[in-house]
Amino acid sequence: MSAYIVNDDTIDMLASAASLYNVTINLDADGARVLNGRTATAEIAKILHAENVKSVNHKYGDTTPTDGYEFTRVVAEAFTAVEVLRAASGLRYQSCEHPDYWTSDAAEILNVIERAAIRKLPGFDDAPREWTREQGEKNLAALRAAYANGGGR
């Protein structure tokens, strides 16, 4: 598998999503290090960027410095929850090349951003917390009706 340093726009958007979603990121089990998405956005971005660079350096034996990146906020209307989820997935894929990734601050930050983005997906709030076969039958009936009328998914 190859790895590369993602563009700054991706990092900027993910950190901006942390701010928009007002996530709280607990980086220590005892709660000593907590980042608030609204107030620590630039720090969140730098952590994500540094982890990506660390991964690429590990993979290829490079020494690319992690400094030089500067966060630039992205307005909320410029991205969707689905784009946040896809970008987080892509960044994780590019950042997981070194053995410490899965316990890193960046991994936890992406986990929290993804959980927040999932709650922003259209229809999430209206979906039942528990699924039943009765609900499934209603979904199937609606889908059959849509296909019968020339629609569908």
What tens digit of pLDDT does each residue of 50-108 get? Answer: 999 999 999 999 999 998 899 999 999 999 999 999 999 999 999 999 999 999 999 99
d(CA 41, CA 72): 10
In a domain, 36, yes or no: yes
What count of other Cβ atoms lies within 10 Å of the Cβ of residue 15?
A: 27
Q: CB of 55 within 8 A of CB of 85?
A: no
- H or E element: which one contains 18? helix 8-20
In a domain, 2, yes or no: no
Residue 153 has pLDDT above 70, yes or no: no
In a domain, 69, yes or no: yes
One domain, residues 110 and 135: no
Alpha helices in 28-80 (DSSP H): 41-60
Q: What is the pTM of this model?
A: 0.88
Tokens linked to 45: 């971005």
Of 11-20, 26-35, 102-111, 141-150, the range with the lowest mean pLDDT is 26-35
Q: What is the mean pLDDT of the chain?
A: 93
Instruction: Report the pLDDT value the prediction gives residue 81, as an integer from 0 to 100.
Output: 97
Q: Structurally, how many domains does the chain consist of? A: 2
21-37, pLDDT tens digit by residue? 999 998 887 767 898 98
One domain, residues 117 and 132: no
**CA 129 to mean position of chain CA atoms:** 22
One domain, residues 146 and 85: no
Tokens linked to 129: 């917390």
Q: Which domain holds residue 134?
A: 128-153
